[in-house]
């Protein structure tokens, strides 16, 4: 695969794994990103999470870990023509979104969701390749979410041609970038991204449910794992072994991965600063595992 | 005499891309030479599929499609094949470099579902058959276009092909037929979706999902023909009271924009279909979705179209 894409993508996702780590000041000037301002808004009462304390804790948790600063540093290679604002706030829904006005919002309500899902569905440690840990769900899920929203942002800000559905494309950006990481981190991101979507009970049942412009939970889950399997059959053998993607689709997974690789190379790679990419790539201690 | 739903596609194909009007402004760089479509009608081994084979060969559908695609300049030929796919399959997945396959079983399914549907209008049944097969062929070609030109495709390729096929049909199709075909294909997706056993992990999206993607484009294209056809698909999949409300919604779409807001207030937007995501997508996101494909088409595909062979109607839509 393209070395530049791989290099950039590595850096991209390492910053996404932004739960903790060194303060931004210690990261040096190489990752300064004046075109990506950030803002932590004060947590307020939410219709989705009536316990204000949980949201205030989420705000403190994110601020303490410099969640937005780190993401801004991480995407410093991206040559935005105008500022992309990153912000956290209460939204009244469990969500993160890009608003098509150059702002990515990470809602406080989503952090308790991930924390609770991590405890509910994750294992403390993996004992088999396909096991999902609490860390996979928390870091992987949050990271995948931010990459997904970044996908929407770059599609919009760079006028990327979109023959396919925007939402699926944003998932592909997230999965593709995740897969360029070190094998361990890629696995974490992919598992986290896919598993937090695995809510088959949310798949459409009635006719009107099919109207959503997002793929169904099961579709998105299979799309992500199929790309991963197409990228590295051996590393993601559990995808086939556990039947996470239907056998008749497995043969197409390499093509699905190549499709994303081609699209990335043609639409996003030209928008990256290669010197900054190298700087981000050279820094390997973005990531830490301090879960609280 | 009953006409085959697949029959009139051939006549309509002939007019879709063909044109002899003077060329537009000269291109800044030369286009590759035109490569004709290569095609084969493979004889089915099962007798029950022979009538479909006979109709296709009688009308020589691919020869018509060859004219239909004449403005397109691709690096390789397009190889099409109709065949019996067997083993209960109605489609073959796209494979780079291999023939584009339209299964006789798929065409048989289309005809069966139309027959079994409660739709009685001969015009609509005709549009369903013709439009669905035309859309399926354009969809195969779209997949080949992506591959041959190595276009950047974000999103599932099968959905992207649906979207490009829809766009080509609406924007380059014959003015007197395209909207009817488009609506007919939409009704087919609704009918098929109802009969389908859904597996969300498959490569291709369920037909109900494709239906809404299709509907999205139709609403954005603003085709009156589509609104006429809307009354046909709603009873197939919706409750009577929802059908009434939805019909009102479509009718509002035909009003001048300044009258639409007040008219929408008369609808009960807290119930049924409107309580779902439907309203938000159809009334809000769809125009953006259509715009995405239009932009992708202009950026990536228009440079490979020889405008000198477009009809005046086609040029006016581009």
What's the ipTM?
Answer: 0.88
| Residues 252-271 of chain A whose Cβ lies under 8 A from any Cβ of chain B | 252, 255-256, 259-260, 262-263, 266-267
Look at residue A47 and tell me if it is in a domain. Answer: yes
Look at residue A24 and tell me if it is in a domain. Answer: yes
Among A151-155, A199-203, B6-10, the least confident range: B6-10
Distance CA A134, CA A141 (A): 10
Question: Would you say how long chain B is, in residues?
Answer: 318
Chain A interface, best mutation among B201, B206, B282, B303, by max A CB count within 10 A: B201
Nearest to A109 by CA among A95, A126, A129: A95
* pLDDT tens sequence across A176-197: 988 887 788 788 888 887 776 6
The first and second tokens of residue B135, run together, are 């859309």
Q: Is B206 on the interface with A (CB under 8 A)?
A: yes
Q: Is B196 on the interface with A (CB under 8 A)?
A: no
| pLDDT given at position A265 | 96
Going from the first residue of chain B to its last (318 residues), give the mean pLDDT of each consecutive group of 10, the final group possibly shorter: 39 36 45 82 95 87 76 91 90 90 95 88 86 92 96 97 92 79 88 89 92 81 60 74 76 81 77 70 82 95 89 79
Question: Would you say how long chain A is, in residues?
Answer: 292
Chain mean pLDDT for chain A: 83
Look at residue A188 and tell me if it is in a domain. Answer: yes
A289 has a pLDDT exceeding 60: no
Look at residue A258 and tell me if it is in a domain. Answer: yes
Nearest to A211 by CA among B49, B223, B219: B219
| pLDDT given at position B112 | 93
Q: Considering only residues B270 and A101, tell me which one the structure prediction assigns the higher pLDDT.
A: A101
Element (H, E) at B83: strand B79-83
Using a CB-CB distance cutoff of 8 angstroms, which residues of chain A are in contact with residue B300?
A: 161, 163
| pLDDT given at position A193 | 78
Look at residue A286 and tell me if it is in a domain. Answer: no
3-state SS assignment for residue A271: helix
Chain A residue closest to B274 (CA)? A208
What global pTM score does this model have? 0.87
3-state secondary structure A92-128: CCCCEEECCCCEEEEECCHHHHHHHHHHHHCECCCCC
Distance CA B72, CA B58 (A): 26
| Residues 38-97 of chain B whose Cβ lies under 8 A from any Cβ of chain A | 93, 96
| pLDDT given at position A18 | 42
- Which residues span the domain enclosing A13? 3-123+131-199+216-265
| pLDDT given at position A31 | 77
* Residue A225 DSSP code: H
Nearest to A202 by CA among A181, A217, A188: A217
| pLDDT given at position A197 | 67
| pLDDT given at position B17 | 33
According to DSSP, the residues that pair with A105 across neighbouring strands are A87, A97
Core vs surface per residue A84-96: b (16+ CB within 10 A) or e: bbbbbbbbeebeb
Q: What are phi and psi of B110, to 5 degrees?
A: -55, -50
3-state SS assignment for residue B316: helix
| pLDDT given at position B119 | 84
Which strand ranges, in their side-by-side order, compose the sheet holding A38-40? A38-40, A85-89, A103-107, A96-98
* pLDDT tens sequence across A212-261: 888 888 899 899 999 999 999 999 999 999 999 999 999 999 999 999 99
| pLDDT given at position B265 | 79
| pLDDT given at position B237 | 76
Q: How many domains does chain A have?
A: 1
CB distance A162 to B293 below 8 Å: yes
| Residues 99-158 of chain A whose Cβ lies under 8 A from any Cβ of chain B | 155
Look at residue A277 and tell me if it is in a domain. Answer: no
Give how far Cα B253 sits from Cα of A7, A100, A207, B31, Å: 49, 25, 22, 41
Look at residue A287 and tell me if it is in a domain. Answer: no
Is A210's CB within 8 Å of B212's CB? yes
- Other CB atoms within a 10 A radius of the CB of residue B287 amount to 16
A7 has a pLDDT exceeding 60: no
3-state SS assignment for residue A88: strand
* pLDDT tens sequence across A86-96: 999 999 999 99
Q: Which span out of A85-94, A119-128, A275-284 was modeled with the highest average pLDDT? A: A85-94
| pLDDT given at position B227 | 63
Is B276's CB within 8 Å of A209's CB? yes
| pLDDT given at position B279 | 72
| pLDDT given at position A236 | 95
Nearest to A164 by CA among B4, B203, B73, B318: B203
Look at residue A205 and tell me if it is in a domain. Answer: no
């Amino acid at each position: 695969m393209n070395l530049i894409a791989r290099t950039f993508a590595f850096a991209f996702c390492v910053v996404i794994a932004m739960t903790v780590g060194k303060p931004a000041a210690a990261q040096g000037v190489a990752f300064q990103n004046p075109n990506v301002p950030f803002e932590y808004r004060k947590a307020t009462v939410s219709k989705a999470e009536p316990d204000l304390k949980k949201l205030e804790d989420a705000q403190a948790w994110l601020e303490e870990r410099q969640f937005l600063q780190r993401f801004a540093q991480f995407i410093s290679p991206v040559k935005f023509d105008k500022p992309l604002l990153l912000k956290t706030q209460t939204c009244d829904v469990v969500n993160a979104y890009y608003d098509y006005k150059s702002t990515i919002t990470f809602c406080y309500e989503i952090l308790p969701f991930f924390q609770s899902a991590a405890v509910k569905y994750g294992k403390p440690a993996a004992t088999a390749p396909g096991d999902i840990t609490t860390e996979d769900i928390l870091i992987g899920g949050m990271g995948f979410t931010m990459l997904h929203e970044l996908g929407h942002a770059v599609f919009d800000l760079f006028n990327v041609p979109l023959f396919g559905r925007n939402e699926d494309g944003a998932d592909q950006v997230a999965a593709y970038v995740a897969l360029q990481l070190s094998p361990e981190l890629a696995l974490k991101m992919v598992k986290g991204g896919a598993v937090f979507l695995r809510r088959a009970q949310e798949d459409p049942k009635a006719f009107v449910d099919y109207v959503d412009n997002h793929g169904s939970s099961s579709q998105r889950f299979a799309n992500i794992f199929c790309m991963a399997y197409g990228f590295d059959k051996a590393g993601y053998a559990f995808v086939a072994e556990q039947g996470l993607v239907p056998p008749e689709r497995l043969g197409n997974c390499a093509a699905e991965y190549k499709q994303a690789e081609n699209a990335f190379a043609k639409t996003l790679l030209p928008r990256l600063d290669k010197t900054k990419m190298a700087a981000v790539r050279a820094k390997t201690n973005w990531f830490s595992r301090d879960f609280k | 005499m009953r006409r085959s739903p697949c029959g009139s596609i051939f006549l309509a194909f002939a007019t879709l891309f063909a044109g002899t009007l003077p060329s537009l402004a000269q291109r800044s760089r030369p286009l590759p030479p035109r490569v004709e479509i290569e095609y084969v009608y493979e004889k089915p081994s099962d007798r029950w599929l022979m009538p479909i084979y006979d109709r296709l060969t009688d009308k020589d559908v691919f020869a018509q499609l060859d004219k239909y695609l004449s403005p397109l300049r691709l690096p390789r030929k397009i190889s099409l094949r109709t065949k019996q796919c067997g083993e209960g399959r109605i489609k073959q997945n796209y494979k780079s470099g291999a023939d584009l396959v339209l299964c006789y079983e798929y065409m048989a399914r289309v005809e069966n579902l139309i027959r079994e549907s409660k739709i009685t209008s001969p015009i609509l049944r005709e549009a369903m058959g013709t439009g669905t097969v035309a859309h399926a062929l354009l969809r195969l070609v779209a997949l080949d276009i992506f591959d041959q030109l190595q276009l950047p495709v974000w999103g599932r390729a099968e959905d992207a092909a649906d979207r490009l096929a829809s766009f080509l049909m609406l924007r380059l199709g014959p003015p007197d037929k395209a909207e009817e075909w488009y609506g007919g294909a939409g009704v087919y997706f609704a009918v098929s979706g109802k009969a389908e056993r859904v597996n969300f992990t498959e490569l291709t999206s369920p037909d109900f999902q494709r239906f809404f993607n299709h509907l999205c484009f139709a609403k954005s294209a603003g085709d009156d023909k589509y609104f006429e056809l809307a009354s046909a698909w709603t009873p197939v999949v919706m409750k009577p009271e929802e059908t009434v409300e939805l019909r009102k919604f479509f009718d509002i779409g035909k009003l001048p924009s300044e009258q639409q807001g007040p008219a929408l207030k008369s609808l009960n937007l807290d119930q049924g279909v409107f309580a779902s995501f439907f309203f938000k997508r159809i009334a809000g996101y769809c125009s953006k979705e259509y715009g995405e494909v239009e932009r992708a088409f202009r950026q990536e595909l228009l440079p490979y179209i020889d405008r000198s062979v477009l009809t005046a109607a086609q040029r006016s839509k581009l």
